Structure 1
Amino acid sequence: MNHKYITCTGFGGTGSSVISDLMKEFDNVKSCGSDFEMSIAFATDGISDLQHYIVDDFERNKTAEGIYRFRRMASIISKEYSNKLHLDFISAVDKYLQSLVLTNWNGYNYLHQLRYGKVCRFFYYDLPFRIQGRLRKLFPSKDGYERASKMKKTLPIEISIGETNFFKATNTFFETMLDSIDSNNNFSYLCFDQLVPAYNFKRYSKYFPNLKIIVIDRDPRDLYLLNKLYWNEGWIPSKDVEVYINWFRLLRLQLTSDLITENVLYIRFEDTIYDYENTIDKIINFIGLSKSNHIHKKEYFIPEISIKNTKLWEKHPEYMIDLNRIESTLKEYCYI
């Protein structure tokens, strides 16, 4: 298959679904929509963490534990991924790890203990270790060799190392997953929500061939009011305006100009509404689409509906003190 991949990303609540909805309007794009965020690349214990253990900071025990944690995380998300991607996700993960792991055996290292709760760890590891230590003191070795406590060697230890092998296997793994949503090859482009975070693109782009990244951001005043009045999401700190300002700025510190390359496009949510035609043209040209393929225009992304989520500060003067504070400290992010 020769699919090209598109992903939209943002900072949380900033409107990345604009792109996944918009892509549904093109007859040569298959979009998974915004109901499935395929975040395995950057999730905790995901691909990026696996890269850390195998490529960036190899250490035999940590690497083995990193592979175990990735496998455990994959089993947790397997049902959702299998349903959304139309493939046996665990089989794909097993094949991926088989291509990564260079040697394996059943053994023991000290990190195995951390997989158990305190009580189980005491009876399974601590108590046998103490008993054997006491016995060695009572009955020292006569041959002069130091003896170590015998620990149960029943858990798998898997070792992988090497940059070339890692990225080759990871590219194949993602191609297998992404292409599965169009197994008949009916579309030229596949669009996914949140394949990568809104920063560190150089790291994450290595996992995907032919990937175009579109970053969506929105006015901090609107985001503040949307969460304070309607969403009430715990990961947006909208109870205290000073905390909110610090949070908003911190998330964008790494989005520097050098990250905006030919494969990364930065879009303001408001531009897709107030400057619709020019912004759509910019997106089409960036991806390499054709206007002739935009056959369902404004059927999925409808700016006349999305406009209600903009300029909320004009409708809520009761929060003017907070909004003025946001505008004065985050002026460069405010749309008008």
Structure 2
Amino acid sequence: MQQIITCTGYGFTGSSAATNIIEEFENVKSLDAGFECTFLHEPDGIRDLETALREGHRLKVDMAVKRFLRLVNILNSQIEFKKYFNGNFEKHSIDYIDSICTAQWMGNWHRGSDTVKYSKEDLLYYNLAKQVFLNEYSYKNYSLYEPDTWHPTYQMRNKTFYAFFDDSFYDKTQGYINNLFCEVSVHTDAKRVLVDQFFPAYNISEYLKYAPQTKIVIVDRDPRDLYVLNKSSWGEPYIPTDDVNTFINWYKGIRFSQKIEVENKDVLLLRFEDLIFNYENSLLKLKTFLELKDEEHIKKGFYFNPEKSVKNAYKFKNYPQWEDDIVKIEEELAEYCYDFPEGLDKGIKIDKSKPVEKYIQDSYELQGRKELSEEYKNRVYKLLFGMTSFGSVCESFNHRKTLKTKLKGFIKSFMFFPFFLIEFPYMIFSYYNLKK
């Protein structure tokens, strides 16, 4: 199995910059920078499964296993998971569950079907079978005395699981990951595999128990830039920038273990700003940490160019309207604020355009009112067009910059057009029917 390298961060903190630099080295196979392989740490992943197994609660274990298998099923349908794991991601995951489970049977409990989708036909025949059971059983008297009038009932049955944590859990989990990356080795004979977001940026010592050979690069970013860029350009709702005090508490909170993580020999913490303003020194740290050689850096500057990326740093100076918030961030998060080099204030351009935050707030208010403004009532057909699959692809051409993405857009538009002939009239009908 190849050595796994992963770049991670705290959400828009610049880990892709480190990914791009490492991709420039020979003998490092990158599994596509757009492919975030997060099944270890995302909700319902391996870490959540381990937590349930450690407690051993029979119902929580069943739910955790089912949620993990549901996550696996969702990920298995994604193109990247099919490609890199040769369509065998779900198979290896099921084999893994079989290896850790003490018992499996057809059963149920009051929330045992939460993760199961039943068809109308399934529900029809379940209810028919329930009536047959009641007809046959007919509330017969059995030898047990039940003072609260309890009696047997017919319930929908599905695969039910039980497992508990023991010393073999980590070995079996490592074997599972090894099997998955044996599938990856079919695509490459490189000594190192670069997997984006394979680990989170916290509790890394726990995740290393699943994949001990992993090297983790954490990239962090100046909170002032993160704050203004989300308000002005990104509008990501998982970054709380509506209120500066909430942002400060959140930013500091999710870095609760950063000082511990950097003491780990398998972890390298880099500043996004250092990758730009102190590029050669940051590059040396990366090469030393990952044992990469100068002669392997065959595409230096091809994927990451600090001279171009400088446009993405020191952005908080472009937005004087949030100056008071920046001062508060500097006071509360001083240890995370980067010491930028002198001379950057020259040529600063004030961004006077309407921030994306405002567009989002306006749209959110519309959603709450459940009523279009007069301006958009006259453009309702354009909005409904954009809601169709064909319409969304047509509108996406504004963001397709490369020939490859444009060709993908044309292919999708041809695929979706036949459905549009049905979808668009249905959208119009639904809208006016709701208006009534």
Say whether the fold is shared (TM-score over 0.5): yes
CA distance 1:145–1:264, shift in 2 (3 Å): same
1:277 to 269, 280, 284: 280
Matches within 5 A, 1:225-240: 225-240=228-243
Tell me the C-alpha RMSD between the 2 structures: 2.7
- SS of 2:77's equivalent? helix
Question: Which residue pairs with 2:62 in the alignment?
Answer: 64
**Structure 1 residue 97 corresponds to structure 2 residue 100:** no
Whole-angstrom distance in 1 between the partners of 2:327 and 2:194: 37
Higher deviation after alignment, 300-309 or 86-95: 86-95
**Structure 1 residue 38 corresponds to structure 2 residue 41:** no
Contact kept, 8 Å, 1:108 with 1:151, in 2: the verdict is no
Contact kept, 8 Å, 2:67 with 2:115, in 1: the verdict is no
- SS of 1:216's equivalent? strand
Q: What is the number of equivalent residue pairs in this alignment? A: 325
| Bigger relative contact order (CA 8 A; separation at least 6) | 1
1:285: how far off?
0.7
Alignment deviations for residues 46-87 of structure 1 (CA, whole Å, 9 cap, x no partner): 111111122x21122221221111111111121112134433
- SS of 2:282's equivalent? helix
Whole-angstrom distance in 2 between the partners of 1:193 and 1:24: 11
Question: Which residue pairs with 2:48 in the alignment?
Answer: 49
| Percent of paired sites with the same residue | 32
**Structure 1 residue 27 corresponds to structure 2 residue 30:** no
Higher deviation after alignment, 84-93 or 210-219: 84-93
Whole-angstrom distance in 2 between the partners of 1:116 and 1:103: 19
Question: Which residue pairs with 1:110 in the alignment?
Answer: 110
1:232: how far off?
0.8
> Which runs of 5 or more structure 2 residues have no equivalent in the other structure?
118-122, 340-436
Whole-angstrom distance in 2 between the partners of 1:13 and 1:259: 20
Whole-angstrom distance in 1 between the partners of 2:31 and 2:309: 20
Alignment deviations for residues 10-58 of structure 1 (CA, whole Å, 9 cap, x no partner): 000000101211111111101124311111001111111111122x211
TM-score (ref. length: structure 1): 0.88
Contact kept, 8 Å, 2:173 with 2:210, in 1: the verdict is yes
Alignment deviations for residues 223-250 of structure 1 (CA, whole Å, 9 cap, x no partner): 1111111111111111221211111111
CA distance 1:184–1:247, shift in 2 (3 Å): closer
**Structure 1 residue 334 corresponds to structure 2 residue 333:** no
Matches within 5 A, 1:1-336: 1=1, 3-54=2-53, 56-80=54-78, 81-115=81-115, 140-141=141-142, 143-146=143-146, 148-152=151-155, 154-183=157-186, 185-257=188-260, 260-336=263-339
Which amino acid in 1 is paired with 2:234? W
- SS of 2:36's equivalent? coil
Whole-angstrom distance in 1 between the partners of 2:336 and 2:268: 16
- SS of 2:29's equivalent? strand
- SS of 2:208's equivalent? helix
Which amino acid in 2 is paired with 1:308? K
Contact kept, 8 Å, 1:29 with 1:189, in 2: the verdict is yes
CA distance 1:43–1:257, shift in 2 (3 Å): closer
- SS of 2:111's equivalent? helix
TM-score (ref. length: structure 2): 0.69
- SS of 2:195's equivalent? strand
Higher deviation after alignment, 162-171 or 292-301: 162-171
